Structure 1
Amino acid sequence: MSLQTEMETFKASWLERVGPEVAKLVDDDNAGLQSLADRSLKEGARFPAMTLGNDRGGETDLSALVAEGPLVVVFYRGGWCPYCNLELRAYQGRLAEIEELGARLVAVSPETPDHTSSTVANNTLGFEVLSDAKGGRLADALGIRFELSPAIRELYRKFGHDLPARNGDDIWSLPMPAVYVVEQGGRIAHASVDPDYRKRLDPAIAIAVLNDLKKVRTA
């Protein structure tokens, strides 16, 4: 089953639970983010050079990773998001293929490191999960971070998602889920940003981009 098929299956059950009024609220809110997605960093731009805390209590220098080889960066909303967990597990399932192509895989969340480490454990992940908490510097540099509307804040409170507590600040903000395939040296080879958090880039597409990059390197 493809990642998007899994997500559509979950979305169908979610729609049954929440009803049409909540579904329309979420659809309208997602649509309002399209202009932000259109302005985010695209192919050809340089991926921001930053150091972020990792799930092991240390720090990871993204510029050092892209100096060594290609990098796949999966930006997700948090371990509380079921769509994000489906995505992370899908990428875990293709991790060996990504590494065989000489690339590294990391995920980035706005959550604090204690929450990212829980996500690693809960999903049995074999790749680093980094924290962009307390300000979302990387998400801002990519142009994918936004503040939630009052209506969505209230909905998330109702669902028990205390984002300021999980993200370590007092701002109700999130990144749009995104996947970047970065070639060695730091240029973005592929950027996938969708304002609808129920749609994610299938790992097969990221792997296809990595294959193309390998062909160029070995030509």
Structure 2
Amino acid sequence: MSLQAELCARRASAEPAYLDQIADAARQLELWGVPARAKRVGDRAPDFALSTADGRVVVLSELLRDGPIVMSFFRGEWCSFCRAELDALLASQPDMARLGASLVLVSPEPASAKLIGEVATLGPSAYLLRDPMLGVALQYGLVYLVPESLRMFYLARQFDLSRELSTGSWLLPIPADFIVGANGVISLSYLESDFTRRLDPKILVEELQRGRLSC
């Protein structure tokens, strides 16, 4: 099943009230101007250092010495739409690696053993990084406060995001995908206020292929 088909299936099975809350939150983020703050094509990617689950420090500028980076910011595994995109990204990672690109996944959530293992099987060009205080997501212009109505919706269903993330806050990154060239400049940027909408990794692979042919 393609990512878009999987996302459609998850939207179809979601509680209607939840979809209404998502739509309201997306409108609120647009009013706040959150998407407009995000890094765009042509911007230089802010450098950062984040740790893997086993304590290794990964520095963006050092990774770029080996080639381009596909970087995906996600809310957490608790989000079924993020999990669908993660599965698609992991399935596409071998194609990215063949084109000389590394895959970098960034989330404020402590990763599960399952996801850590899935990423580990992909080899040295796949990285799962935690951004616990959302400092890197903030550099990329992705951080927002979950709107109050959506917070109340989650809490009414016994889901406390501040505890899930171990941050004590209701801050999240807008899910976003970037391709950063070896020169440190962003060549692809994708994000949507509606977090049920995601970019098909096939487009990321196609963009990497175009970049390779233009060299």
**Cα offset, 1:162, TM superposition:** 2.7
Of the candidates 17, 22, 27, which is equivalent to residue 26 of structure 1? 22
Matching of residue 67 in structure 1 with residue 103 in structure 2? no
**Cα offset, 1:167, TM superposition:** 2.5
Where do 1:1-219 residues align within 5 Å? 1-14=1-14, 18-19=15-16, 21-34=17-30, 35-112=33-110, 115=111, 117-121=113-117, 126=122, 127-133=126-132, 135-217=133-215
Structure 2, gaps ≥5 residues long: none
- Change in CA separation of 1:71 and 1:84 when aligned onto 2, cut-off 3 Å: same
Offset from partner CA, 1:158-181 (integer Å, 9 cap, x none):
344332223232211110100001
**Cα offset, 1:41, TM superposition:** 0.8
Contact map agreement 2:28 2:147 (CA 8 A) in 1: no
Matched residue type, 2:159: H
Moved more, 54-63 or 40-49: 54-63
| 2: CA distance, partners of 1:30 / 1:175 | 13
Offset from partner CA, 1:139-166 (integer Å, 9 cap, x none):
1111111011121112222344332223
Q: Secondary structure at the match of 2:45?
A: coil
| 2: CA distance, partners of 1:108 / 1:121 | 16
| 2: CA distance, partners of 1:187 / 1:181 | 8
Structure 1, gaps ≥5 residues long: none
- Change in CA separation of 1:78 and 1:128 when aligned onto 2, cut-off 3 Å: same
RMSD: 1.8
**Normalised TM-score (structure 1):** 0.89
| 2: CA distance, partners of 1:89 / 1:109 | 15
